[in-house]
Amino acid sequence: MNLQKIEQLAKELIQEIGENPDREGLKKTPIRFAKSFEKIFGGYGQDPSSIMTEFDSENYDEMIICKSIDFYSTCEHHIQPFFGKVSIGYIPNKKIVGISKLPRLVEIFSRRLQNQERLTQQIANALSELLNAKGVAVVIKAKHLCMMSRGVEKQNSVMITSSCNGLFKKNAKTRSEFLRLIE
Is 66 noted as a catalytic residue in this protein?
Answer: no
- Name the amino acid, one letter, at 72: Y
CA–CA gap between residue 138 and residue 181 (Å, rounded): 12
Nearest to 52 by CA among 132, 133, 137, 130: 130
Is 75 noted as a catalytic residue in this protein?
Answer: yes
Question: Which one is catalytic: 7, 75, 122, 164?
Answer: 75
Is 78 noted as a catalytic residue in this protein?
Answer: yes
Is 19 noted as a catalytic residue in this protein?
Answer: no
Question: Which one is catalytic: 12, 76, 117, 129?
Answer: 76
Q: Which uninterrupted H or E stretch holds 143?
A: strand 135-144
Question: Which one is catalytic: 66, 114, 116, 122?
Answer: 116
Give the list of residues 6+ apart from residue 85 with CB closer than 8 angstroms, or none: 67, 68, 69, 70, 71, 140, 141, 142
Is 153 noted as a catalytic residue in this protein?
Answer: no
In degrees and rounded to multiples of 5, residue 144 shows phi and psi of: -115, 120
Question: Which one is catalytic: 15, 77, 117, 129?
Answer: 77
Task: Go through the chain and tell me how many residues it has.
Answer: 183
Question: Which one is catalytic: 78, 80, 121, 177?
Answer: 78
Q: What are the residue numbers of the active site?
A: 75-78, 116, 144, 146
